[in-house]
Amino acid sequence: MKLILPFFTLAMSLADAAPPTETKPVTDEYHGVKVVDEYRWLEESGSPAVKAWTAAQNEYSRAWLDARPDRAGIEAKLTALYAKDTPSHSGIVSRPGRLFALKFQPPKQQRLLVTLTSADDLASEKVVLDPNEIEPKGQVAMDWFVPSPDGKMIAVCLSKNGSEDGTLHFYRTDNGEHLSDRIARVQYPTGGGSAAWTPDSSAVFYTRYPHQGEKPEADLNFFQQIYYHKLGTPTSSDEYSAGRDFPRIAEIELHTSDDGRWLLASVANGDGGEFAHYVRETKNGAAWRQITRHEDGVKEVTFSHDGANLYLRSVKDAPRGKVLRFAIEDTLADAQVIVPEGDAVIESITPTGRFLFLSDMIGGPSRIRQFDQQGKNEREVPLPEASGVGGLIVAGDRILFRQTSFVAPAAWMLCDPGDMSVKKTALFNTSPVDFSDIEAVREFAISKDGTKVPVNILRRKGTKLDGSNPTLLYAYGGYGHSMRPTFNFEHRLWFDRGGIYVVANIRGGGEYGEEWHLAGNLTKKQNVFDDFAACAEHLIKQGYTRSEKLAVEGGSNGGLLMGAFLTQHPALARAVVAHVGLYDMLRVELDPNGAFNVTEFGTVKVPAQFRALHAYSPFHNAKDGTAYPAVFFLAGETDGRVNPAHSRRMTARLQAATSLANPILARFSSASGHGMGTALSEKIAQKADVLAFLFDQLGMSAK
C-alpha cells in the first residue's frame, strides 16, 4: 500500500474544483494513422474563450498555492536572500583599456550594463545602461550587447516582457547618451539575433527579420538575413549584405577579427547542431565566401589573434571534437588538424597572441588546456575538481574565465600562461547562505540499454540512505546542451527541509560529445526519457528516496522530458514541475520556433520520424483513468520559443485523464516569456510557487 500523506484530503477537495474544459474533437491523419485532438481550440491564444479558460486556471492554481500555509513565507525568504546576494557579472567582453559586463544586482529587476578598467578594479565600475530606469518594474531587458572596436559605443538589443522580440539601440560608453538610431526586427526567439561593428566604429552589420509586406505573415519570423547600417542614416537606406540563400530556419551569429578587417557569419540550420560559415572583409564592396557547409561537421570557427588564420572545431569523424587550422585566404581542403580528438569533449577555442586555449568537458565537469598556436606543447590549467568553466575572455596574453561548482559561488579567474597560475579576481560572488554542510557526489545510473548515465547528487553530509529523503531530480537532455556544475543559493531552502537535489547528465546533451547528443535526438529521443527514468530508479534503489518522496523538474526541452516521464512512468515520482515545455510533438513544428526544432526532433512529414514522435508525444500518450502524480505547469504568455498553448492543452488533458485527486495546476504569466529577460520579482514569485507545491506534495515541513 502506498503512503497516504496528510495533505491528501485537502488536495482532493480542491482537485475536484479544477475548472472544466470543453472538448471539441478534431481528427488529423498522418501516414494512415488517425489522431484525435479534443483541445485544439486552446491554441487560439487571442480568443475570448481561451483567455477565459486561462484566467480560470490561474485563479484555481492561485487559490491552491496561496492555501499552502508557508507560501508567503517562502517568497519572503527568497526575497530576503536575494537582497543579501552580492552582485554578479556575466557576458564579459574585452575592449582596449576596459571590460564590458552585464551586472545582476538585486533587488534591481534587470541586469545593468557596466564597464570596468579591469577585473580587479571594482572602484572603476561605471554604469552605461540601466534598463530599470527605462521601466522600473523590470519589463525591459537586454537581450545582448556588442561594444564597438574602440569601446566608445555600444549596440544593445532591448525587448519587453520577456518576449525577446528585440530592437537595436546605440549608446555612447562614456556618458550613456542614447543615439537616435533604432533598428527594429534584429532579434526574435526563433533565430536569435546578432550585430558586429566595422573597424572605425561608424557602422554595424546586423541580423534582420523580414518587415511587414516583405514576406507572408507566416514567414515574418523566418528568413533571417544580414544588413548594414551606418550610424546617423535612416534604416530605410540600410544595405542588404547576405542571407537570401540561407535556410528558412537560419540562425545567424556575427563576429569580427580583432583588427576588424574580417567578418564571420555562423549560420545554424535550425537548432539541431548543423552549421555553415561565411567570411568577408568588412570594407565596402567585399564579397562573402562560404568556408564550411552543414555536412562538414564544423561547430565553431574563430579568428587567430592577428586575423591571418582560422581555427575550427570539427566533429567530422571526431564526435568529441578536433581543432583544425588554415590561412584565412585558403579553404577547408587546406586545413590541418592541430589538436586531434581525445578523451574529453572540446567545447570552445580561444586564441591569444601567443597561445591557444581549449575549454573541454568530461561528462559534466570542465577542463582548460593551453597549447602553442600550432597545437603543440600542451599544458593543463589547474582547476578544482568538478569545476564548471565558461566565458573564456582574452585579457592581453592572459585568460579570464568564469569558474563554477555545485557548492561554491561563481568567480571570474585569471590564468597567467607563464607559470600557469590561476587567481581569483575581484569579480566573484559570495553566497547569502552557507553550503559547508553540503557535498556533491557523482554516481552512475544504468539506462535501459546499458548506457552509464552520470548522476550528480547534492546532499547534506551524513545523509542516511534509508529511502526517506525528499529528492528533486533535474535534467534537460537536448540540443547538445551540457549540464555543467553551477551554484544556486535557492537550494538552501530545499536542503533546510531535508531535501536532496540531483542533476542528471542524460543523453541528448553534449557532456560526452556529438555521439551523446545524437543518441538522444530525432528517432532516438526515447533514449533521453529512458536515461531519466533510470536515474530516478537509481536514486530509489540506492536508498536516497522512494517514489512517494521523489519529485522531478525540467524546463523547455526539459519540459518535454517531464511530460514524457509522467506519461510513461506515472507511478515513479510523486510530483512533477514542468516549465515552458513542449507536449504536442505532432504539431510543434507548426509554431514559428517549432520549425527550427525539426533538425532536433524530426518532422511528422517523414514516416519514421512521425512514428517516433507519436510514440512519446506527452499530449497523445496521456491515458484516461491513469493515476497521475501531482503536476505543476508553468508557462509565459509572451514566449516566442515554446507556444504556451502546449501547456494549456496538456493541463486540460491531464485534468481530464487523471484518476487521482493529485492537483494538476497551471500558472500562465503575462509578465514573462521563455524565461530570458524575466523581472526578478516574477522569478521569485515563480520559484516560491514551485517550492510551495513541492513542499506540500512531498510532505516537507519547515524545521
Q: Per-residue pLDDT tens for 660-669?
A: 999 999 999 9
Mean pLDDT of the chain: 94
Cβ atoms of 575 and 632 within 8 Å: the answer is yes
Cβ atoms of 672 and 640 within 8 Å: the answer is no
Is residue 670 over pLDDT 90?
no
List pLDDT tens digits, range 606-615.
999 999 999 9
Please list the residues that pair with 461 across neighbouring strands. none
Is residue 396 over pLDDT 90?
no
Mean pLDDT of all residues in 466-491:
96
209/194 Cα distance (integer angstroms): 11
pTM as predicted: 0.92
Is residue 5 over pLDDT 50?
no
The pLDDT value given to residue 592: 79
549/199 Cα distance (integer angstroms): 59
The answer to whether residue 307 sits within a structural domain is no
Mean pLDDT of all residues in 433-444:
96
Q: Where are the beta strands (DSSP E) in 491-589?
A: 500-504, 550-555, 575-579
Q: What percentage of the chain has pLDDT greater than the value 90?
A: 89
649/646 Cα distance (integer angstroms): 5
Is residue 150 over pLDDT 70?
yes
The answer to whether residue 474 sits within a structural domain is yes
Cβ atoms of 371 and 339 within 8 Å: the answer is yes
Range of the domain at 688: 32-80+433-697
φ, ψ for residue 685, nearest 5 deg: -60, -40
The pLDDT value given to residue 15: 44
Is residue 343 over pLDDT 70?
yes
Mean pLDDT of all residues in 548-553:
98
The pLDDT value given to residue 221: 93
327/338 Cα distance (integer angstroms): 13
20: which DSSP letter?
P
Q: How far is CA 384 from CA 367, 368, 422, in A?
A: 10, 11, 11
Is residue 326 over pLDDT 50?
yes
The pLDDT value given to residue 16: 54
Q: What CATH number does residue 638 fall under?
A: 3.40.50.1820
The answer to whether residue 207 sits within a structural domain is no
Is residue 410 over pLDDT 60?
yes
For the annotated catalytic residues, the residue numbers are 556, 674
Is residue 4 over pLDDT 50?
no
The answer to whether residue 104 sits within a structural domain is no
> For the chain, how big is the Rg over CA atoms in Å?
25
The pLDDT value given to residue 649: 97
The answer to whether residue 612 sits within a structural domain is yes
Is residue 10 over pLDDT 60?
no
The answer to whether residue 618 sits within a structural domain is yes
The pLDDT value given to residue 12: 38
The pairing of beta strand 366-372 with beta strand 630-636:
unpaired
The answer to whether residue 10 sits within a structural domain is no
Mean pLDDT of all residues in 18-41:
97
Helices (H) and strands (E) in the chain, counts: 14, 38
Cβ atoms of 507 and 478 within 8 Å: the answer is no
Q: How many domains are there within the chain?
A: 1
**Residue type present at position 100:** F
The pLDDT value given to residue 6: 30
Mean pLDDT of all residues in 403-430:
94
Q: Where are the alpha helices (DSSP H) in 542-591?
A: 557-568
The pLDDT value given to residue 298: 98
List pLDDT tens digits, range 233-289.
999 999 999 999 999 999 999 999 999 999 999 999 999 899 999 999 999 999 999
**Residue type present at position 200:** D
Is residue 2 over pLDDT 80?
no
Mean pLDDT of all residues in 218-231:
96
The pLDDT value given to residue 674: 86
Q: Is the backbone peptide bond immediately before 25 cis, with ω within 30 degrees of 0?
A: no
The answer to whether residue 656 sits within a structural domain is yes
Q: How far is CA 406 from CA 90, 162, 294, 417, 554, in A?
A: 18, 28, 36, 27, 18
Name the band, by pLDDT with cuts 50, 70 and 90, for residue 13: very low
